[in-house]
Amino acid sequence: MAPSFLFSQFMGGLTTAMFLFLIASGLSLVFGVMRVINFAHGSFYMIGAYLAWQMVEWLHPSGEAFWPAALFAALGVGALGAVVERLFFRSLYGREELYQLLFTYGLVLILGDAAKFIWGTGQLSVSTPPVLAGSVQIFGTTQPLYTLFIVAIGPAIAFGGWLALNRTGVGRMVRAAQMDREMLGALGANVGTLYTGMFVVSAFLAGLSGALVTPVQGIVPGMDVLIIVQAFIVVVIGGMGSLWGTFWGSVIYGEVLSFGILIFPGFSLFSVFALMAVILIIRPWGLFGRPL
Amino acid sequence: MRFRHLPSFILAAAASVPFGASAADSIKIGFPIPLSGPTATYGVPILKGAEMAVAEINAKGGVLGRKLELMSRDSKANADEAVRLARELIIKNSVDFLAGTLTSAEAPAVSTVAKENKIVFVAPTAKLTELTQPPNLHPYIFRIASNTDVEGTAGASLMAKWTDVKTVATIAPDYAYGRDSIGSFVDKIKKLRPDIQIVDQEWPKLGEADFTPFITAQMGKKPDAVYCSLFAGDFVTFTKEATPLGYYKAIKNRMLDPAEVGTVDEAQALGDNYPYGIIADAYDPVVWGGPGEPAEHQAFEKNLKASMKSEYGSGWAIVGYEAIEALADGIKKAGNTKSDDVAQALLGLTFDTPVGKRTFSATTHETLSPEYWGTMVKDAAYPFAVIQNPVSLPPSTIN
Amino acid sequence: MGPVRAAIVTASDRAALPRRLPWTLIVFLILATVPWLGSRYNVFLAEQIIIDALFAVSLNLLLGTTGLVSFGHVAYFGVGAYVCGILMKTYGVPFTLAFPAAGLGTAAFALISGYFCVRLIKLYFAMLTLAFSQIVWAICYKWNDVTGGDQGLPEIPYPHLDWMSAVPGLTDLSIGDRFYLLSLVLIAVSLAVLHRIVRSPFGRVLTAIRDNPERAGFIGVNVRAYQLAAFVVAGAFAGLAGALYGIFSRGVFADYVFWSKSAEVMIMTILGGMGYFWGPPVGAAALVWLNQEITDYTEYWSFVLGAILLLLLFAFPGGIVGGIDTLWTRLRNTRRA
């Protein structure tokens, strides 16, 4: 196998990984602080994609609209997250975790049909922004600029997140909440606002990743369900609540998929779930997580 | 444990009340078809074609004095959903006939429902050859579409003409149609051009969102040409991902896609991202390209554009249209709506379509519809790709 | 604690109602008359309801009784459906053998998967059940030779029910109706068995484990063993429900095992009321009936289901039966006062 071929498979896997990291980071964040798995995270991603498409349609069907559209989408989903958290989620905090989980699933059902109702059932498409529409030759392979952009953004967000968590006051509160939220509340911190803030940030990230995926994939009903399971797998492998865990979990997932199809074509569907099961059996808190 | 059961008692009683009584005395046709998801790009226009046929027939007084009623449902391209909907349509809504389904996963499953309930089922699109072969063949299944045998023969004969192509790769969705389509093509091309080598075969799943690993793996094998059976939304996503990676450039657009990506529906979905230069097919080219367009076709397109409220019509509507027309002809010939009689009547029945006459074979219940093939090019008159000089390739004219 | 446990305490300590009617027997008899009194559609609906009822009650053994939140329960339903379907269709095994084989096969699978799952705490337990469920789905989807892959296994044969012609009154029934009556009997027996299990000392240990696993451990209960046993029993009955469903639907397809069906049965259980043994069957009846009525008018069934779920969570956490129970208690108290 030519090294250039291996390199293109590797880059392909890395692209998948970084897209997944963008989405999964929000999921992991919410879990780390609020100890709840948000099924609706995939729905936020989907709404982000639809909003980006809508914005591009409104501004003008040309590539320059893409960047404001992506930002608008992310902010829109962030706002949706704020509404969801304040109006509904809040009242479920004292209750059993099962109820919180089911609430997020109820959201999946509602948001999924709402998107179908607003944007129809067909597959929608967004063009790559012109500034990133070209490609470069690296090691004898063609790498689209957009792919390189995504591969760069992933670590950038990971590093930015790490900085925010470890070098800011808010970050310190978030880390404290991850360790012991009751204590944090007892010490006078406004845990309620912290939760809302975390949820909004997570939704923003989901919406942003949805928007950023539109030049590469189709926007279609069902993309919420498809992505959430993948995000779960990544978060389990890397460790829930750990930013770097999610990052490396995504990389592992992306590369297993990318090279898996070379070894055994039907493999990929089964292998990622098997990997998730193995991690849960051997080391449930993931590669980088802390035991709950 | 005592009073608690009252609710279920009430509900059971409520379940006995018949609901949803529809227009008295209409002939009901159940039509499960994907209306959401990537395959809806084909499913939605097929339904519109069927609806147009129903409207036209009802405007002329219906069949045997009764109006036709189409009951469509979203099968989401799932076999289990299609089966469930088909059974509900039969048991709950008491449909007289079944038509529809898109994929070769749905159609065989619904066919078994039709067989068990002894209801005629006309499948407009599924190409899986097995659908109408023993042991799956039964009196009530009829097919409008072509089949993978005809498709593979046509595709192989066209690829054989590329004499400078020595290595070929294939990519198709990993389910019955994809496997059959590639199997048929490989079989035929080996006979026509024993010098051609199949160097790579990729099998993404139907509805795949990320084709990148398959694309890069295939490019690594450096094929001269590609036979691709991806279709509808999958082909759109695939092309969006493949083009920036240099996939089409590497094969110099030498691709053959037999899964109707030459339809105006698909071309519009891809817009300017369409990989011009590939060879594709359609049951109805819509844009005729050259002279010799049948008058019926012109009339059909005009009505279709009005009925769909679309400027450009659809290359898929025709099969939905044909399914209803054929069924209506069968009912007329039988003189009643009993499936046993209609099934008899459909055997060997010849019916008119806007692109020529079709006959249901008395032995295989298929029409062996030809498709129109050609190179996809840019046309100044249209904002999307069209087939250049579409040529109909009926089974008899290809070797 | 939570409202669920309080509700269960109230229910079992209930004083006698003014009228002790054997409601379960009444419902059983009504259901048994559907082939004669109802249309083909009523039989279709009733069969779907009773199969889902068994499936939901089996889940509730885990959810309501033992406090184990499983997101992968549909895997056992699917394994049962495939085992029975493959035995009957591919190997021509008669139903009398295939049906129990489905239960046993599923129990074996539940034993293996459960062993790994019960070692994990709540959230990881849920994730692992989901992972196993998707593994089963992936295998069913891909193993073309055995499971039919993406095409599935259509045309599962009906069991031989010609002997029913000998029973007076049953001679004229169609095969579909006969199978319905057979299912009704099998499901009634299964529910009776499950009811015994829940009310038995074993069941009481399970509720103790649900309320406080540590305390149960302290008093000498082998918590893991009991949880595993519950898992196996729940899985086995889910497998039986699946076997019946495969025959009823005339086919077994991989998408039966997709995780969204696990969510559906969980909603059914909670809709009915997971604090009551007969809650899940009520939920099953409600949901199946609602689904049939609503899908005739709109494509947006998911939205309706989501709205129902939210309504349940915020307003009626005890489900339908819980709501009625509360209402009944209030009525009784106002009458007394």
The verdict on C306 touching A (C-beta cutoff 8 Å) is yes
Task: Give yes or no for residue B291 having a pLDDT over 90.
Answer: no
Average pLDDT over residues A7-13: 89
Nearest CA in chain C to A285: C124
- CA separation for the pair A175, B169 (Å, rounded): 52
Q: How many beta-carbon pairs below 8 A join chains A and B?
A: 106
Task: Give yes or no for residue C4 having a pLDDT over 80.
Answer: no
A82-124 per-position pLDDT tens digit: 999 988 888 887 777 888 889 999 999 999 999 999 998 888 9
Going by C-alpha positions, the residue among B178, B176, B228 that lies closest to residue B200 is B228
A256-276 per-position pLDDT tens digit: 888 888 877 766 778 888 989
DSSP-H helix ranges across B277-371: 295-308, 317-334, 339-346
What's the mean pLDDT when you consider all of chain A? 88
Nearest CA in chain B to A117: B36
Confidence of residue C14 (pLDDT cuts 50, 70, 90): very low
The verdict on C36 touching A (C-beta cutoff 8 Å) is no
Q: Which segments of C134-261 are extended strands (E)?
A: 153-154, 251-252
Q: Is the dihedral of CA C166, C170, C173, C176 positive or negative?
A: negative
Task: Give yes or no for residue C19 having a pLDDT over 60.
Answer: no
The verdict on C289 touching B (C-beta cutoff 8 Å) is yes
What per-residue confidence (pLDDT) applies to B241? 92
The answer to whether the Cβ–Cβ distance between A280 and C120 falls below 8 Å is yes
Task: Write out C269-298 in H/E/C secondary structure.
Answer: HHHHCCCCCCHHHHHHHHHHHHHHHHHCCC
What per-residue confidence (pLDDT) applies to B397? 64
In this structure, CATH architecture of domain B149-289+372-397: 3-Layer(aba) Sandwich (3.40)
Secondary structure letter of residue B63 according to DSSP: B
The verdict on B92 touching C (C-beta cutoff 8 Å) is yes
The answer to whether the Cβ–Cβ distance between A220 and B203 falls below 8 Å is no
Nearest CA in chain B to C23: B2
* pTM of the full structure: 0.90
Residue of C250, C293, C303 to mutate, interface with B, max B Cβ within 10 Å: C250
Q: Which segments of chain B are extended strands (E)?
A: 27-33, 68-74, 97-99, 121-123, 141-143, 167-171, 197-202, 225-228, 255-257, 279-282, 350-353, 356-359, 372-377, 386-392
What per-residue confidence (pLDDT) applies to C7? 45
For chain B, the chains sharing at least 3 beta-carbon pairs closer than 8 angstroms are A, C
Instruction: Please name the amino acid found at residue C130.
Output: L
The answer to whether the Cβ–Cβ distance between A261 and B217 falls below 8 Å is yes
What per-residue confidence (pLDDT) applies to B153? 92
Confidence of residue B2 (pLDDT cuts 50, 70, 90): very low
Nearest CA in chain A to B233: A123
Lowest mean pLDDT among A39-43, A53-57, A169-173, A230-234: A169-173
Task: Give yes or no for residue A12 having a pLDDT over 70.
Answer: yes
Task: Give yes or no for residue A247 having a pLDDT over 50.
Answer: yes
What the block records as the tokens of C194 is 């499950």
| Residues of chain B above pLDDT 70, percent | 93
What the block records as the tokens of B261 is 């990506």
Comparing CB atoms, the residue among C17, C24, C150 nearest residue B175 is: C150
CA angle C124, A15, A65 (to 5 degrees): 110
The verdict on B383 touching A (C-beta cutoff 8 Å) is no
The verdict on A269 touching B (C-beta cutoff 8 Å) is yes
Task: Give yes or no for residue B151 having a pLDDT over 60.
Answer: yes
Which residues lie below 8 Å from residue B123, measured CB to CB, with a gap of 6+? B99, B100, B101, B107, B110, B111, B131, B141, B142, B143, B144, B145, B323
- CA separation for the pair C280, C64 (Å, rounded): 10
Spell out which residues of chain A touch residue B38, defining contact as CB-CB under 8 Å. Answer: 123, 218, 220
B5-54 per-position pLDDT tens digit: 455 445 444 444 444 444 568 999 999 999 988 899 999 999 999 999 99
The answer to whether the Cβ–Cβ distance between C151 and B105 falls below 8 Å is yes
Contact A202, A29 (CB under 8 A): yes
B89-132 per-position pLDDT tens digit: 999 999 999 999 999 999 999 999 999 999 999 999 999 999 99
| CATH 3.30.420.60 is held by the domain B24-147+307-359 | no
The verdict on B233 touching A (C-beta cutoff 8 Å) is yes
Q: Which of residues 202-231 of A touch B (CB under 8 A)?
A: 215-218, 220-223, 226-227
The verdict on A282 touching C (C-beta cutoff 8 Å) is no
Neighbouring-strand partners of residue B68: B27
Contact B70, B329 (CB under 8 A): no
Spell out which residues of chain C touch residue B108, defining contact as CB-CB under 8 Å. Answer: 151, 154
Residue whose pair of structure tokens reads 């003409």 in the numeric block: B161
CA distance B245 to chain A (A): 6
Comparing CB atoms, the residue among B38, B174, B213 nearest residue A258 is: B213
Inter-axis angle of helices C175-199 and C223-248, nearest 10: 170
C151-181 per-position pLDDT tens digit: 889 888 999 888 888 888 777 788 889 999 9
Going by C-alpha positions, the residue among B116, B114, B141 that lies closest to residue B130 is B141
Going by C-alpha positions, the residue among B293, B294, B267, B291 that lies closest to residue B278 is B267
Average pLDDT over residues A215-241: 90
The answer to whether the Cβ–Cβ distance between B108 and C276 falls below 8 Å is no
Average pLDDT over residues A203-221: 93
What per-residue confidence (pLDDT) applies to C240? 97
Nearest CA in chain C to A36: C123
The verdict on A91 touching B (C-beta cutoff 8 Å) is no
- Domain positions in chain B are 24-147+307-359, 149-289+372-397
Contact B395, B368 (CB under 8 A): yes
Average pLDDT over residues B287-305: 84
The string of DSSP codes covering B252-273 is TT-EEE-SSTTSHHHHHHHGGG
The answer to whether the Cβ–Cβ distance between B80 and C325 falls below 8 Å is no
Q: Which of residues 121-180 of C touch A (CB under 8 A)?
A: 121-124, 126-128, 130-132, 134-135, 138-139, 141-142
C199-227 per-position pLDDT tens digit: 999 999 999 999 998 899 999 889 999 99
The verdict on B183 touching A (C-beta cutoff 8 Å) is no
The answer to whether the Cβ–Cβ distance between C299 and B15 falls below 8 Å is no
Spell out which residues of chain A touch residue B246, defining contact as CB-CB under 8 Å. Answer: 135, 142
Comparing CB atoms, the residue among C127, C139, C303 nearest residue A280 is: C127
Cα distances from A186 to residues A25, A36, A181, A189, in angstroms, run 28, 21, 9, 7
The verdict on A257 touching B (C-beta cutoff 8 Å) is yes
B198-251 per-position pLDDT tens digit: 999 999 988 888 899 999 999 989 999 999 999 999 999 999 999 999 999 999
Confidence of residue C10 (pLDDT cuts 50, 70, 90): very low
